[in-house]
Structure 1
């Protein structure tokens, strides 16, 4: 993609390059290594002022009826529709994912806005029966206040929207710290949203954007004015955030590492299994938390499926992600490339045999040092490198004898985000979904590990963090529950039959 096209997109999205500002962040595209734009870093003074304004905005926003808040979110969804093409291209260029995935990410924002609009009329409470006569007991859900959001580079805008759209209709205001690797897409979204709030005579601080590194995230985690902090990233980061927030008895939603597996049984539709495996492993260049990192294949079909897998990898096209003919774009930066190379080295040291070799791609068509080859290694499940998440297109394949062994292999990792089984056998499918099956937050049948719909609650178990975002009843995490009892009699009966007379 030519620089002039990016300049045009930035202009249409009202992104102005900041020069001579210190401190600042310059975003470089992994597609071609070129600078996209520079944005100022949020200083401590700026942060304090913004949090104060967010608190004031909350006092006004929470008074707006929930369906009216939903109407504002509907307008945000419509604005995102208008800017979908520009935003999708910017996501692709700044992060490095394919154009189709970039457009899909913007569509996720639109979809969660639609979901939140409906939700704004369904923030249900519960009426329960009181044991005391002439009493009514019920519960209601009330806004929390400022919801902090720390998002990762791999989904630079979608995961923010999962949190923000739901938090807004629940009556909260949001304070968003995007990854310092993808600040421009965040700024574009903030400008779109701010315009909607301004148009409706509402405080722009209902949506706040702060830019900075991990230190700014630590500041948010320690801030008692932020009752809920939703953080997406590595398990290491999540543990740090959890400790800081717990120390002040705050709440967290943590969506952390994944080490996702697909079990392929003798009863699988191999065509479906192959497509799911390849897309799951190489989509977003292996930089999804739901990326397929392990294939657990029955020994009776192992060799034949392996041949198909290797042949499919030969057909992959790697290059500029804005070229729709390419399947795989670059990794986010050179640090990610080094992690990829180190993982390959460690896998070989442990005895892994690469049936599709990896490596860094150079020469024509690869204008930055961030393009790598998706690779496949035959391994044993107990290898230490297999137990870890490497954010890169490295796929580990292994054999199993029976379904119990396959499920044990799948579950025997520290992470617990997404999982899948490929089978047309009803008993196998049901067993995989049973109490003795997958221990992950997401378990799919004849669908890969990657790609979740916004209607379902998203998140995982174990070192994935245990939080839930997006659909279902995940909205409850963004509100506080209050139990109410009303006595409409002229007496004061006590619970549990206790008497107290004066």
Structure 2
């Protein structure tokens, strides 16, 4: 099956994984792509050497000089064609995402749909890169601000969304006039090769210079090529908080810019006025979708004591209906974790929550036997815990859900929700208008995303995506997130024969 998918995407098993557009090359050691679905080897991809990398950057720099002069609506036309090609290839690319990463087939298709959606958004944006007109205090002067392309945007993406996050960055950066260099996770290199092949063909068909879209492959050392490189003014990095702190300090040392999308520790507050059925749907999908490997996955369920047992029983009953197995089988709800290291982390979390005084109410464990040969399939688990537990305070990238009680009014629940280092996504389930507005107020959720009567995951591209505190503070995708990919410039034009100074200063000669 997978060989047919690769063929549909125009990928041959001998392709090298480093590209500066239409050409493929790579002279570094090869990395192997294996599927967590069945542990089968898919292909090998060549990694990027320092010499390769410098060639990529030089090609990108050359391309930027031409690309920045292409009118923004024409740049949007290239992105439109990219989105249309993704529509044609949604099925094979979605299958590759599902098989290489391990998420359900529907989520694989959904991730490609996110790519299509952000292309549509970016096409419209290409005609709306607005600045502002500002009234000058000096007569006969016009003042305004405008936005210019930055140059090269370096993108470091994580394994859990192997294509969508890259597209959030590139689609906007391209219409802004930037060129991009992408280092995908070494755990999912083939999805990167597939995406690069698609856009490279489109650029070639439109006689656009290679280097507008570039791909490099390898581990964190290849990422360091970009983070330490003064030629790259912006680094957009998605991953763990630990990784983000390293990236932030490295780029800041050279006074570069960063866009960070880091860890989450997301909670749903369930008040006495919640719709229990909606709560169960939102909480279960949020906790087990992508096998708990989303930065927006639901980690904590904060339930009012008056309905705690009712909600707990409903959630436990729903977990009993989950089907775990091959994610390409649409009857299954939960696929595998990315690798056995992730499985070990999951097992350690369940051990630690018990050691800290928690109570496991839905047993976890690693699945064995036919269909589970990869050793990456685990049972989604639920534990009763306290918010202050050390293991609860840290993100576990696996399907582990912590249940906890709150008493009194919603302010107590909000305090618990905010009482972690991360600040990505949050939600409240309530039909009480006052509780909902309190949750969304200045004194409410401290997260970048705050939802009412939906779960913590499933963000739309129209809104800016990102979080606060140890989530990094970055914003991607919709709203005015495009501004991070540009430099702001203030312009003043004097159309008189006089030269008055600002603040009424006199300088006569």
Kindly indicate whether residue 465 of structure 2 is the aligned counterpart of residue 469 of structure 1: no
Within 5 Å, which residues of 2 pair with 1:214-363? 214-363=220-369
**Could you tell me which residue of structure 2 aligns to residue 14 of structure 1?**
10
**Could you tell me which residue of structure 1 aligns to residue 88 of structure 2?**
82
**Could you tell me which residue of structure 1 aligns to residue 42 of structure 2?**
36
Within the candidate set 500, 505, 508, 1:501 is matched to 508
**Could you tell me which residue of structure 2 aligns to residue 366 of structure 1?**
372
**Offset, 1:22:** 5.0
- Return the alpha-carbon distance in structure 2 between the equivalents of residues 403 and 354 of structure 1: 26
Tell me, yes or no, if the aligned pair for 1:18 and 1:40 is still in contact at 8 Å: no
Tell me, yes or no, if the aligned pair for 2:53 and 2:225 is still in contact at 8 Å: no
**Could you tell me which residue of structure 2 aligns to residue 460 of structure 1?**
467
- Return the alpha-carbon distance in structure 2 between the equivalents of residues 304 and 474 of structure 1: 41
Which string of whole-angstrom CA distances, capped at 9 and with x for unpartnered residues, describes residues 442-483 of structure 1? 000001000100000000000000000000000000000000
- Return the alpha-carbon distance in structure 2 between the equivalents of residues 408 and 320 of structure 1: 39
Report the number of matched residues. 498
RMSD, matched Cα = 0.9
Length-normalised TM-score, structure 2: 0.97
SS of residue matched to 1:9: helix
**Offset, 1:366:** 1.2
Within 5 Å, which residues of 2 pair with 1:90-489? 90-401=96-407, 402-489=409-496
SS of residue matched to 2:350: helix
Which runs of 5 or more residues in structure 1 are unaligned?
none
- Return the alpha-carbon distance in structure 1 between the equivalents of residues 310 and 83 of structure 2: 46
Tell me, yes or no, if the aligned pair for 2:302 and 2:405 is still in contact at 8 Å: yes
**Could you tell me which residue of structure 1 aligns to residue 76 of structure 2?**
70
Which runs of 5 or more residues in structure 2 are unaligned?
17-26
**Offset, 1:19:** 8.9
SS of residue matched to 2:211: helix
Length-normalised TM-score, structure 1: 0.98
SS of residue matched to 1:480: strand
Which string of whole-angstrom CA distances, capped at 9 and with x for unpartnered residues, describes residues 116-171 of structure 1? 00000000010000000100000000000000000000000000000000000000
Tell me, yes or no, if the aligned pair for 1:31 and 1:329 is still in contact at 8 Å: yes
- Return the alpha-carbon distance in structure 1 between the equivalents of residues 191 and 322 of structure 2: 28
**Offset, 1:15:** 1.5
**Could you tell me which residue of structure 2 aligns to residue 27 of structure 1?**
33
- Return the alpha-carbon distance in structure 2 between the equivalents of residues 19 and 423 of structure 1: 52
Which string of whole-angstrom CA distances, capped at 9 and with x for unpartnered residues, describes residues 178-232 of structure 1? 0000000110010000000000000121000000100111121110000000000
- Return the alpha-carbon distance in structure 1 between the equivalents of residues 275 and 351 of structure 2: 34
- Return the alpha-carbon distance in structure 2 between the equivalents of residues 435 and 249 of structure 1: 32
SS of residue matched to 1:204: coil
Which string of whole-angstrom CA distances, capped at 9 and with x for unpartnered residues, describes residues 366-408 of structure 1? 1210000000000111101000000000000000012111000
- Return the alpha-carbon distance in structure 2 between the equivalents of residues 304 and 467 of structure 1: 38
- Return the alpha-carbon distance in structure 1 between the equivalents of residues 140 and 237 of structure 2: 45
